[in-house]
């Protein structure tokens, strides 16, 4: 069973339905024990990084997510959930879960912020979706972006004023800056890939 972490953020119903459409059963839960028991875990997120981290910590969910990530359970962070996988967050000068090495920064103001709408993701060599250099289209809504220390963690790049990582993959930990549950066929393809990717038993998350 896949656990979708409920900490009061966002449209969880759509993520659940997207997983179901991809053939995977999922349960929405705010219980750290259920997160620890899950075969796979989705960390969604919409809203403010500081408030979200406080809530994850107060509820014990942050510890549960860290534990499962370190022991190799497949984890997918979506939108703010992807950003929280990293360390320092410019929004609210907060520290995220620190499961991936890097920082989260504000998009440059040369274009309208938030970045909202459909945009290309240019696949990298480690993308599960297709060959390097191919494009996929996803629906984005965000003002901040992740800046990983290791470019090898980036599985797809998107251009919006700058080039930022739209998919990151580091062993068992995946992140999508867009909303795969709102990104039509390409989004469902990512959900299906993640939900069926073989679990890595040697968790090597930092």
Partner 1 sequence: MTSATKSGLKTRIIPALDVTGGRVVKGVEFQNLRDAGDPVELAARYNAEGADEIVFLDITATHENRNNMIDVVERTADQVFIPLTVGGGVRTVADMRALLSAGADKIFINSAAVAQPSLISDGAEIFGQQCMVVAIDARRGAPDGAWQVYVRGGRTPTGLDTVEWAREVERRGAGELLLTSMNQDGTGTGYDLDLLEAVSAAVNIPVIASGGAGNLDHLVDALQPGRADAVLAASIFHFGQHTIKEAKQYLRDHGIPVRLESDPA
Q: Which residues are catalytic?
A: 79, 179, 181
Q: Does 182 bind partner 1 (CB under 8 A)?
A: yes
Q: How far apart are CA 21 and CA 6, in angstroms?
A: 20
* 192 touches partner 1 by CB under 8 A: no
Secondary element (H or E) of residue 173:
strand 173-176
Among 139, 147, 197, 200, binds partner 1 (CB under 8 A): 139
∠ CA 107-101-117, nearest 5°, is 30
Regarding 181 and contact with partner 1 (CB under 8 A), the answer is yes
Residue pair 178/121 in contact (Cβ under 8 Å)? The answer is yes
Among 1, 116, 199, 204, binds partner 1 (CB under 8 A): 116
Kindly state the smallest distance separating residue 193's Cβ from partner 1, in Å.
Answer: 15
Site map 3..42 versus partner 1, x via CB under 8 A:
--------x-xx--xx--x---------------------
* Residue whose tokens read 């929280």: 84
With the CA atoms of 22, 23, 24 and 28 taken in that order, what torsion angle do they form, in degrees rounded to the nearest 10? 70
- What is the Cα–Cα distance from 196 to 189, expressed in whole angstroms? 11
Q: Is 44 exposed, middle or buried (0-12, 13-18, 19+ CB in 10 A)?
A: buried
Task: Provide the 8-state DSSP code for 125.
Answer: T
Could you say which residues in the range 43-62 bind partner 1, by CB under 8 A? Answer: 46-48
For partner 1, the closer of residues 5 and 205 by Cβ is 5
Q: Which pair of structure tokens corresponds to residue 169?
A: 């993959």
Smallest distance, Å, CB 41 to partner 1? 21
Residues in touch with partner 1 (CB under 8 A)? 11, 13-14, 17-18, 21, 46-48, 108, 110-112, 114-120, 130-131, 134-137, 139, 141-142, 158-163, 179, 181-185, 187-188
């Amino acid at each position: 069973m896949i656990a979708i972490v409920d900490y009061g953020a966002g449209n969880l119903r759509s993520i659940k339905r997207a997983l179901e459409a991809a053939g995977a059963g999922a349960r929405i839960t705010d219980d750290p024990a259920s997160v620890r028991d899950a075969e796979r875990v989705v960390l969604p997120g919409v809203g403010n990084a500081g408030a979200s981290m406080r809530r994850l910590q107060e509820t014990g969910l942050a510890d549960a997510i860290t534990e499962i990530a370190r022991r190799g359970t497949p984890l997918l962070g979506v939108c703010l959930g992807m950003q929280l996988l990293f360390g320092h967050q410019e929004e609210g000068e907060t520290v995220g879960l620190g499961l991936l090495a890097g920082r989260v920064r504000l998009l440059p103001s040369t274009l309208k912020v938030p970045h909202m709408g459909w945009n290309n993701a240019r696949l990298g060599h480690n993308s599960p979706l297709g060959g390097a250099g191919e494009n996929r289209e996803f629906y984005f809504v965000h003002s901040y972006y992740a800046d990983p220390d290791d470019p090898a963690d980036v599985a797809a790049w998107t251009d919006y004023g700058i080039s930022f990582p739209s998919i990151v993959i580091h062993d068992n930990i995946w992140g999508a800056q867009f909303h795969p549950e709102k990104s039509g066929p390409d989004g469902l393809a990512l959900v299906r890939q993640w939900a069926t990717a073989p679990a890595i038993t040697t968790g090597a998350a930092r």
